[in-house]
């Protein structure tokens, strides 16, 4: 039996839009320098603690705006 994807799962196209939004952010010098490196590699799993904190606290809400599906 196949189960439908959860609403919080991004498709490949949505993930590429998310990465392009993250790549186009203008951040202060040395604040998100390593974040841009991970966006270029399309790998978000090897970030440092500061980068995860910045992503979760400030960047995630901006970049996911309009991408997540609403509840039916």
CB 25 within 8 A of CB 33: no
Q: How confident is the model at residue 69 (pLDDT cuts 50, 70, 90)?
A: low
pLDDT higher for 63 or 42? Answer: 63
Per-residue pLDDT at 71 exceeds 60: no
In this structure, is residue 71 part of a structural domain? no
SS3 18: helix
In this structure, is residue 51 part of a structural domain? yes
In this structure, is residue 62 part of a structural domain? yes
Per-residue pLDDT at 70 exceeds 70: no
In this structure, is residue 16 part of a structural domain? yes
pLDDT of residue 48: 78
In this structure, is residue 52 part of a structural domain? yes
Question: Domains in the chain: how many in total?
Answer: 1
What is the reported pTM?
0.69
Which domain covers residue 52, as residue numbers?
A: 12-20+46-66
Per-residue pLDDT at 11 exceeds 70: yes
pLDDT of residue 72: 54
């Amino acid at each position: 039996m196949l189960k439908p994807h959860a609403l919080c799962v991004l498709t490949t196209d949505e993930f590429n839009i998310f990465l392009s939004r993250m790549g186009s952010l203008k951040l202060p010098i040395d604040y998100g320098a390593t974040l841009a490196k991970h966006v270029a590699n399309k790998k978000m799993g090897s970030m440092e603690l500061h980068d995860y904190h910045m992503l979760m606290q400030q960047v995630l809400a901006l970049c996911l705006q309009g991408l997540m599906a609403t509840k039916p």
